[in-house]
Chains A and B, each alone.
Chain A
Amino acid sequence: MLFVLVTGCAAGDSAPSDRMMELDMEYQGPITLWNRSQFPLDQVRVHRLPSYAGAPNRLSAPLAPGAAVVIELSGANRVTIIRGKVEGGREWAISTPRPVSATSHLFVLVVFDDGFLEASFDEVSALDGFPLEAPPRLPEDDASDDA
């Protein structure tokens, strides 16, 4: 009987934790995307479902190798980049296998030729070639500047 109670407590504890994780993954706000692949990125799409079809492109221009860009996440954030598989070749999409675990504007998603790395701004800002000097600004930062 005691065993059943303990088990019940454990199950009860895990549910809020899962919800917290889900909430964490629903971060809405800016992050940095750093292209460390050898290819220019034609598109970056953020989407809730595994399929990226129909998701808008977040880039205003192709992102060159080594360049970084600030993109806005809008919750349940799966990221897909689209580029030519080879120069002049067929379009090729590489998606994160799950929503990225961004929780703040200090999150950096590094794009490689065949995958990604989740990192923080502090971890990458000192690396050679990182093009940004400061993390993306939050709307409240802009508001306080205005005040």
Chain B
Amino acid sequence: MRRTAVCFIVSLGVLAPSSASAEDDGVWSHLRDLLGGVELTWMSGRAEVSAEAETGSGDLLTVAGGDAAQRGFAISLYGPPKRSGLILAPALGYLSQRILLADFEQLVTQPAPPFGEPLSGACSFPDTGQPAPCSTVNSYALSLESIRTGLRMGYEWRLPYTWGVLIGSASAVGYVLEYRSMGVDLGPDQSGTAAGWTGFESFEVGAAFGVYWPRWHLAVRAQISAGEYGSFEFSTKPEFMGRTICAGDFNRCSRERAYVSETSLSSSGLSLGVVWVL
């Protein structure tokens, strides 16, 4: 499963207390310098989604391609730069994302049969008797939650003014350890889940700019980012409608049954955002 996202990332940093009180508490000072602050990030935008599924005969298919809406948020450690220069800092964060594909149903056109009389079906739910469309709707909704830790490397700069500090960065984050929980809903009745620990599977690169107000312990920044997430196998494999196959003897076509076996994600984004300040 592959996802390419164009996302808007707007960040609001709430920084640790100023250094005026740090002399009174050496441990807190070191901790504050190490962690920097807590950043809450909202993400929204568009994504392109494709999924790989396995058919009953063992073929791997790419299914579920299309545009998707994406939204989510992240909580992570971030501190604005104290000086311009290279950085190497710990990264710790929580990420929650949801990607929605409403429907990418592929209509199957039935050729005329070589013999016999075709009868279209009238579909319904036996438990309620309610009629329902016979076509199978393929929809896709991915929920991703990740708690991860790693290292941030890059370059940061700052331009102080009387009213605040302009900040910027170009950095890469490699996640050493991650606990990831994924859920995917395919159609109204199918879902798949995957959860577990992984290491060295995901990373992000990005560039950010913003404003830091030291006296209020606040920063606001916008970010352009791209991320890669490693592949994950589903513990329960949701069924999906795959490629269109036709039975030559009947001239009858249908969507082949397939089962989504694993997912891997990648995202790239351009910031076009709305800034929200607490």
Contacts and interface: CB of A to CB of B under 8 A. Distances in A.
Interface of A: 36-39, 51-53, 82, 85-98, 100-101, 110, 112-120, 123, 127-128
B121 A38 contact: no
Contact of A87 (B188, B239, B256): B239
Nearest to B255: A113
A110 B116 contact: yes
Main secondary structure of the interface of B (DSSP, over half): loop
Greatest chain B CB density within 10 A among A94, A96, A120, A128 is at A94
Given A38-B254, A38-B256, A38-B257, A114 B134 contact: yes
B125 A114 contact: no
A96 B119 contact: yes
A65 B137 CA distance: 22
B17 interface: no
A85 to B, nearest CB: 6
Interface in B127-170: 127, 129, 132, 134-136
B86 interface: no
B104 interface: no
B278 interface: no
A85 B119 contact: no
B187 interface: yes
Main secondary structure of the interface of A (DSSP, over half): loop
B190 A96 contact: no
Interface stretch (B37-45, B63-71, B212-220, B245-253): B245-253
Contacts of B187: 86
16 contacts: A36-B247, A89-B189, A90-B188, A91-B127, A92-B123, A94-B134, A95-B121, A96-B119, A96-B121, A100-B119, A112-B254, A115-B134, A118-B117, A119-B116, A119-B117, A123-B116
Nearest to B116: A119
Greatest chain A CB density within 10 A among B113, B115, B119, B252 is at B119
Contacts of A117: 113, 116-119, 250, 252
